[in-house]
Amino acid sequence: MWSEDAGETWSEPTPLEFGSVDPYVVLMRNGVLACSYGRPGSCIAFSTDGGRTCSRHRVITPEPGYNYNAIREVGPGRLLYIHDSPVLTCLYIDVEAVE
């Protein structure tokens, strides 16, 4: 959903074009919007236009499972990505804002 008036009113919801489990969104300090999601696999997508498009999808693991995940920005341009397929795993992802 989108708001043009600081959250007073909202547009109709637009479904995500990807993933089906536990989307987790972080607006990074460098302006990149990161979205982790699961099923199929454990994945992440990036947007440089405020989430209007997410064209940079990456598969972290194609392994099937619950594929729950979470992300946090732990430093400038650095995400901590945690997922549970096939076992609980943590990794860092360095993200550079590219136009």
The answer as to whether 13 is a domain residue is no
- pLDDT digits over 64-84, tens only? 888 899 999 999 999 999 999
pLDDT in tens, 28-54: 999 999 999 988 889 999 999 888 888
Domain annotation covers residue 71: yes
Rg (CA), the chain: 14
| 32, containing H or E segment | none
Tell me, yes or no, whether 70 lies in a domain: yes
* Within a domain: 45: yes
CA distance 27 to 33: 4
Long-range contacts of 2-6 (CB under 8 A, 24+ apart): none
Is 75 within the bounds of a domain? yes
Q: Would you say residue 68 lies in a domain? A: yes
94: amino acid identity, one letter: D
Domain span at residue 80 reads: 21-89
pLDDT, one tens digit per residue, over 4-21 is 898 899 988 876 666 677
For residue 74, being part of any structural domain is answered with yes
Q: How many domains does the chain have?
A: 1
Which of the 8 DSSP states describes residue 13?
A: P
**Residue 2: HSE in the Cβ half-sphere, 13 Å Cα cutoff:** 8
At residue 94 the predicted structure's pLDDT band, cuts being 50, 70 and 90, is very high
